[in-house]
Structure 1
Amino acid sequence: MHIDSFSLPLSRPLETAAGRIEMRRGFRVRVEINGTVGVGEATPLPGWTESLADCERALGAVDDPASALDGGRLADVPAARHGVSLAVLDARSRAAGRPLYRYLGRDERVESVAVNATIGDGSATATADAAVDAVDERFPAIKVKVGARGPAADLARLEAVRARCPDVEIRVDANGAWDESTAEEVLPALAALDVAVVEQPLAADRLDAHARLRDRGVEIALDESLVECGVGAVVDAAAADLLVCKPMALGGVDVARSLIDTAREFGIDGLVTTTIDGSIARAAAVHLAASVPKMRPCGLATGELLAGDLTDAVESAADGWIAVPQGKGNIPPR
């Protein structure tokens, strides 16, 4: 197995309740299985995954990529596992002569997947301007980052969005910034604005409190809780209407696909987003979304947030959709 490092600056810093993101650093992973080369990507995001140093250390300790995925040996380093598992899946699906999404289990050809636009923190005017741009680009849904400001300021931002974009689906992502009383205060206002989803309103470990927030006119989606507590705990607590699956943070597209299948057995829907990854991981996330029937618009239109990229393998969103790569494996080998 061979790894090499990369750094991808963002085109502009992204402000979230968890802090500012300016650069994405990671590793390209190359394996060879039975004569077929596969490529993966490990792009850790501290707070979500292991550190960059721990990721590099874990990758450097992998002798046999395929067996390293067995027995949970990389469970504590999800970005490293994502890189190795994607490289292995890429090689195996390439050897099978199928696109990755079909290797993951989708029988029919899927040309594209619907995506949402993501809008970072900003003034009410700037947020509404960005929402109008997204609607003009025909995104079916927008996700607005909230929580970095107070609830009143965030509601003013959302009111400005709804006034100028009366028909678009609005989702908000608080990144766990609220306490339960704040969420209880804000939810009626979100419902009045016809906000469809609030993502991770409370801290990740507050599953019982998330359960109490449900059935108030806005779907509760869990993201960080899924990574920290696991799908079993989320299901047992009846804490979510929707699960937001980040393959890099969960340990790979194979893990994420299994999680989505499990959640659907319990009537909980799932969607796929990235952690602002490079194009190798984004392509895999597109394949993952394409592998699941009736997937909602996903958070995959993040390539434009980067000033540079690893390949040109993932097309930009067009009219609210991203094309699914149709060649063998994940993307053409580089």
Structure 2
Amino acid sequence: MKATYQKYILDFKRPSGTSRGILTQKETWFIILENEGKRGVGECGILRTLSSDDRPDFEEKLKWVCQNIHIGPQELWKNLLEFPSIQCGVEIAFLSLESHHPFELFPSEFTSGKESMEINGLVWMGEESYMKAQIEEKLKQGFRCVKLKIGAIDFEKELGLLQFIRQHFDEHSIEIRVDANGAFHPKEAIEKLNQLATYNIHSIEQPIAKNQLESMVELCEKTPIPIVLDEELIGVFSIENKRKLLERVKPHYIVLKPSLVGGFTGANEWINFADELQIGWWITSALESNIGLNAIAQWTFTLQNPMPQGLGTGGLYTNNIGCPLEIYNGRIQYNPSISWDTKAINF
């Protein structure tokens, strides 16, 4: 077996804002496997400044993987505990290599085009007018669940945007999720959550920054809105620590990005504990190209979670990999009549 890797820079169609700054490009890495005339490809979707494997030896570790590809996916996964995006890329690459078709990793009613999945419409941070335009567009596109990134512009203006939605749609028509990406200060968080609660919010992701465990425990106890852990899960590698974190904080939900939590194997560990502790969960992409998004969407379908998933990021880039994933009426579907176009990565 031969393994190679390559870097690929994705260009955003327009700058996209989070509370951590404005994104214009997204770096990603592909692992390509070749064995007995077959090929497979996986994506290591690192998110700089957020992924726990954003470290100087990242590329060195990719080289190590390619040199040791013969030890197989399970052994590689164990040796890559501190490199979750590479764990994810290796898992996808082996699934791709071993599949009948390199991009149909989990054959199902989804990949046959017979079934689709509900997803949330993502509204990026920006000027009030830009955010309002995005909200109107998502509602027009048939989304029943919208997710707003908050915490970057004036909080009163963000409340105004929520009021704008609720003037036209109640919580039975449109589910609103908000994601603060850790933007609130612990001392002001409960007051802000109380204000948000008046708009019948479904949930808030990561209201305060990670590693403020006592404050997060207290928030989860007192909050009027269900709290979702996101960044808090990043960098928690051992099974024992995963269980400890969920038992201690008792969040209402967790959101799982396979590229940030060790691929499907790592995500399944979190899901098992969450189910045991009656904590809800859903799956979100982490701005991967369509190679990673396709794998994550197919895997997510097999979990049969009825909640809207966070898989609507495929249309963000000008130079994404052409693929059969489509978004229609607030749902993601796989259209088998559309061919893959992988010329950009020589696959």
Query: Identity across aligned pairs (percent)?
Result: 25
- Asked if 1:67 corresponds to 2:72, the answer is yes
SS of corresponding position for 1:256: helix
Amino acid at match of 2:258: P
Q: CA deviation at 1:314?
A: 4.1
Match of residue 285 from structure 1: 296
Amino acid at match of 1:75: L
**Which stretches in structure 2 are left out of the alignment for 5+ residues?**
none
How large is the Cα RMSD of the aligned pairs?
Answer: 2.8
- CA separation of 1:140/1:231 partners in 2, compared to 1, >3 Å: closer, same or farther? farther
- Asked if 1:2 corresponds to 2:12, the answer is no
- CA separation of 1:203/1:233 partners in 2, compared to 1, >3 Å: closer, same or farther? farther
CA contact (8 A) 2:126 2:153 kept: no
- CA separation of 1:198/1:110 partners in 2, compared to 1, >3 Å: closer, same or farther? farther
Match of residue 124 from structure 2: 120
Q: CA deviation at 1:269?
A: 1.6
Match of residue 135 from structure 1: 139
Match of 2:15 among 13, 16, 25: 13
Match of 1:153 among 146, 150, 157: 157
Match of 1:308 among 316, 319, 324: 319
SS of corresponding position for 1:244: strand
- CA separation of 1:98/1:22 partners in 2, compared to 1, >3 Å: closer, same or farther? closer
- CA separation of 1:332/1:209 partners in 2, compared to 1, >3 Å: closer, same or farther? same
Cα deviation, 1:36-70, whole Å, max 9, x if unaligned, reads: 42210113112222238633221111223353642
Match of residue 195 from structure 1: 201
Q: CA deviation at 1:220?
A: 0.5
Match of 2:105 among 89, 92, 100: 100
- Asked if 1:54 corresponds to 2:64, the answer is no
- CA separation of 1:134/1:265 partners in 2, compared to 1, >3 Å: closer, same or farther? same
CA distance in 1: counterparts of 2:335 and 2:227, whole angstroms? 31
CA contact (8 A) 1:117 1:134 kept: yes
- Asked if 1:226 corresponds to 2:229, the answer is no
TM-score with structure 2 setting the length = 0.84
CA contact (8 A) 1:27 1:43 kept: yes
CA distance in 1: counterparts of 2:158 and 2:57, whole angstroms? 36
- Asked if 1:217 corresponds to 2:224, the answer is yes
Q: Show the 5 A alignment for 1:241-256.
A: 241-256=252-267
Match of residue 273 from structure 2: 262
**Which stretches in structure 1 are left out of the alignment for 5+ residues?**
none
Amino acid at match of 2:72: S
Cα deviation, 1:88-108, whole Å, max 9, x if unaligned, reads: 12223438x9943359xx9x9
Q: CA deviation at 1:35?
A: 5.6
